[in-house]
């Protein structure tokens, strides 16, 4: 299986349990690995034979703009569902990181994998 990656994709969204997190947007970093079946695009050189990463970025920006989710785990699950459901990816790995969310901590986050990496 081939993989497309999107790294250090940053969004300014509201996410968290605490009142201050629900009021003030925070910067979160998404790191994505998206499985694509076969090597069709490497042979055809056609966008139709792969997943358009620019479309993925635009879709996630739109979906997460008015986020009401509290936990990063749930947010990662939503991102995975969009990528697999709307872009027909058989496998996805989603990492979501809050930057400087806690005093003396540079990053906190979660990583999930969904789907089958063997096709």
- Domain locations in the chain as residue ranges: 2-115
Per-10-residue mean pLDDT of the chain, 119 residues long, equals 94 88 89 88 87 97 91 96 97 94 82 87
pTM, two decimals, is 0.91
Taking Cα atoms as reference points, which of 110, 113, 106, 117 lies closest to residue 96? 110
Other beta carbons less than 10 A from residue 13's beta carbon: 17
Architecture of domain 2-115: 2-Layer Sandwich (3.30)
For 44: left if phi > 0, alpha if psi spans -120 to 50, otherwise beta; the answer is alpha
Q: What is the pLDDT of residue 23?
A: 85
Q: Which residues are catalytic?
A: 98
Among 109, 108, 99, 54, smallest CA distance to 76 is for 109
**For position 110, what pLDDT does the model report?**
97
């Amino acid at each position: 299986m081939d993989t497309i990656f999107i790294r250090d994709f940053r969004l300014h969204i509201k996410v968290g349990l605490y009142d201050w997190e629900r009021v003030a947007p925070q910067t979160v970093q998404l790191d994505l690995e998206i499985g694509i079946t076969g090597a069709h695009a490497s042979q055809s050189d056609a966008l139709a034979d792969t997943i358009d990463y620019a479309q993925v970025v635009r879709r996630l920006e739109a979906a997460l703009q008015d986020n009401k989710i509290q936990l990063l785990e749930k947010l990662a699950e939503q991102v995975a569902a969009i990528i697999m459901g709307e872009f027909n990816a058989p496998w996805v790995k989603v990492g979501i990181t809050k930057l400087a969310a806690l005093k003396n901590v540079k990053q906190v986050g979660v990583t999930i994998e969904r789907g089958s990496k063997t096709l």
